[in-house]
A = this chain, B = another copy of it.
Amino acid sequence: MNVDVEISEQPLPLQPLTISGCGAIARFDGIVRGLEDGKEIAGLCYEAYAPMAEKVIRDILAELSVEHPCERVRVSHRIGFVPVGEAAMMMDVHSIHRGEAFALMQKFMDRLKQEVPIWKRGSR
């Protein structure tokens, strides 16, 4: 495992936009890997029934936020051809304390592939 550690007086680079009162921002990027079922690929093709996918994502987040109240969640999922090394999806979560953001993000990711009508259509 490669580890970088930095202790510094400088502002940290690449900060996401923050929301007043939030002490935690958690983010996840799901990246297309170079191997699919053991064979090398150039990328994956995603297909979605987009209006339904968006509705299901919003419903899952509304449900999860009852137990894990967060201030803001952003979810983006790419469709069409996504080359290896690029993000197929990303989400970030703003919350007052970190526990809620971590919990919501993990539970959302577990449900995304099960319940949301976005499919891997194949690879090339």
Contacts and interface: CB of A to CB of B under 8 A. Distances in A.
Interface residues of A, number: 65
Given A9-B78, A24-B28, A98-B109, 20 more contacts: A1-B69, A1-B70, A2-B71, A2-B73, A3-B62, A4-B75, A5-B74, A6-B75, A7-B76, A7-B118, A9-B79, A12-B86, A12-B90, A14-B90, A18-B87, A21-B33, A23-B32, A26-B26, A26-B29, A27-B27
A1 B73 contact: yes
A58 interface: yes
- Copies of this protein in the complex: 2
B74 A15 contact: no
Contacts of A18: 29, 31, 85-87
